Chains A and B, each alone.
Chain A
Amino acid sequence: MKKLAVKDLNKFFDAISADQLLYMPLEKGGSVNYGIYSRGDKYDPTVLHTVKSVKDVFFPQCESMASFVTAGKKFEVAPIAPVDQSFTVFGVRACDVRGMEALDKVFLSDPVDSYYAARRAHGTVISVACSAPEETCFCTAFGIDPTNPGADIQAVIAGEDILFSANTEKGIALLDKVADLLSDTDDSAADDAKASIKEILNKLPLADIDLSAWGEGKTEELFDRPEWDELCKSCLGCGTCTYVCPTCQCYDIRDYKVGDKTTRYRCWDSCMYSDFTMAAHGTNRPDKKQRFRQRFMHKLVYFPDRYGMFSCVGCGRCVAKCPVSMNIVKVIKAMGGKNNG
C-alpha cells in the first residue's frame, strides 16, 4: 500500500498528466462532472457523485464516428479512429466501477464496440472509496462495497492521507511512474478508515432495500402488474434518469450535414423519449407507461436475464435528480419484497 498526503494530490495529478490526459471530477459553473485536468485544478473529496457518471469518459455523450465528403459523383469516407493514447481517470466511486462492468458486458461482447473497447484498453482507472455516503446511496443492496471500490488502482482517504493500492498490471505500472511521490505504508490506517465508513453504511435508509421481487425470469410476473399505471403517472418523460445513470447504454446514430460534408456521430439516447427506437412503422412503445416500464424492466429484469447481473448499481443519482422524485427505489418497493413495507 502506498501513501500520499491529500494536500500533495496536485503533485500526483501533475505527474500523471505530464504525458497523458487525466480525467477527474471537476467543478464547472457550480456542477461537478468529469473533465480533463489542467494544472491547478482542485479535486474536492467531499463531492460524492458527479452529475454525469464516469460513463461519460468511456462512452461520451456525443462522439463523431466518421465523416463523408461528396464532390460530384465522388464520395469519400473518412472514419474517425478510436482513441489510441493512454489516459487515466481519477476519483471513480465503487458504484461507477460496477457501472463500467455493466457497460463492458454490453460493449465488449460480440459485436465489440471498437470505440468503447479502445478507451477501456487505454484507460487506467483510479477509484476512491466513499468517505461520506449519502442517504440516496443503496449500492450495498447490489453487493457493492464502497470501501473497496476495485478498478486498476483503489484509493481510500484516511485523515490527512490518501492510500493507494494497485489491483492490476496497468495500476502497478501507473503507481511505479509516480513512485517518488509515494511512500510505503501498512494496511492499518486504511482498514480503520474503512471501518468507520462501514458504520455509516449501516445507517443508510435504503441499504436494506429488498430486490427479491426482481431479477432473472421475472418478466411475465412483473410486466402486466397494475402498479405500473400509477407509478408512471408523475413521470415527465424527460431523460434525466437515463443520462445521469452510470449503466444506461442506449445511443442513437445521426448525421449532421452541411453542404457537401456530413459528420456521422452517435449520442446517448433515452428510452423515456417518444422517438426512441423509432422505426418505419412508428414506435413500439407509444405511451408513457410502456416507456417508463421499459427502463426499470431493463435494469432489473432483462439485463439480469441476459448478463446475470442487475444493471442498477445503487448510485442514487436518479433518486437525487429526478425532477418529480419518481425513481427506481419507489419502483423496486412498489413491486413488493419483505423489507420494503
Chain B
Amino acid sequence: MSKKSYAVLGLFETPDALMHAIPKLRAAKLGLVEAYTPYPIHGIDDALGLRRSPLGGMVLVMGVLGALTAFGFQYWISAIDYPIITGGKSAASWEAFVPIMFEVTVLFATFTAGLGMLLLLNRLPFFGHPILSSKAMKGITRDRYALALEAESEAFDSAAAAQALEAAGAVDIEVLPAPDRSPFLTSDYILRTLGGIFVACLVAGLGIYSLIKWFPLLAPMKYMQDQPRLNAQKASTFFKDGHGMQPPVPGTVARGYLPTATGTQEASATLVNPLPRTKDVFAQGRKVYTNRCEVCHGALANGAGSLTAAYGAKPANLQAQQFRDYPDGKIYWAVVNGKNAMPAHAAYLTEYQRWAVVHYVRALQRAQNATDEDLKVVAP
C-alpha cells in the first residue's frame, strides 16, 4: 500500500451492516470515520458523532437581516428620498412594506440555506476528492453504503484501517490517495484570478452598456421619439405641396387677435375701451406706444417723432383738439386699420395691447393739457 494513502474505503451492502460497523470503527480510533451513502440514513449523524448543523441559526440571522434590509430600503425610499402620498397614507406608514419584507426575508433565507449548505458547510463544488474517482463511487450513488477511515495525522496506518474495515464486515476495500487540493494562493493563481476578474468586468461592462444603450434601439423596439410625425421645415409626402409645415387656412384668427373694428372709423366711435385704468395696463400701453408709435407721433404724441424729417408724410399731432375730442373707439380703429400713410397694426398687436395703447394716448393727451385739478389728483 502506498505511503501517501489518505483514506481506506470499505463497502457495505445494507444500511444495517453500515450502522453496525460504525461503532466498531470509531472505537478502533484508526482515523476519522466518514460514511458515504446514496441517500441520507437515519441516525447516522449520531452514530458518527457529527455535530448538529448550524444552518438553522445561519438562516435565522440572514432572514432577520433580509427583513431589516427590506424595511430600511423601503422606508428610506418611500419616506425619505422619494416621498409620495399614496391612498392618503403617511409616507412613513410601514404596513405596506410587509409583503416585500416577507419576500426579501424568504429570499435571503433561501439563498443562505442553499448556498450556505453547499458552499460554506459542505465546501462544494469540489471536484478533487479522491472518492469521486474511486471504483466504489459508482455504487455509492446507487445502492452501496461506504465507510471511510480518513487520515487524521501522518501516523495513519492504511493496512490496519483496511483490516479493521474487513473485520467490521466490509465486502470491498479500496485505498484512496490524498485529495487533490491544489495550492491555492500562488502568485500565478492570484495573477490569473485578477486577470480573470478584469476580463469579466470588461465583458460585463460592455455587455451591460450594449444591453442598455444599443439593444433597446434595435428594430422591433419602438420609442415615442421614433413615431411617424411631421416636423416643421421638413419635407412630407402627406400634403400635396410636399411641405411638412402648412399655412393656416384662410380666415384663421389667432387667439387675442380678433378682427374687431372692421367698419368705418365713424362706426367705431361707439366702441368702449374694455380695459380698466390700472398701472399694468398703462405700462403695457406705454411699451406698445414706445415700440410702435413713438417713432412717428413722438414721445409726447405731438407728431414730432424722430422719423419725421426723413419720412414723406406728416404724422398726426395727437395733441390737436380734433384728436383730443376723438372717442376711444376712433383711436382704436386707427390703431387697428391705419389711416392715411399710417399702416394697420392689427397683425402684431393683440386686442389687449390695442386698447392699452389707447389708454396711454389718452394719458399723454391729458399730461400735455393738464389743469390745476389734475395736479391735485397727483399730489397726494
On whether the two chains bind one another, the answer is no
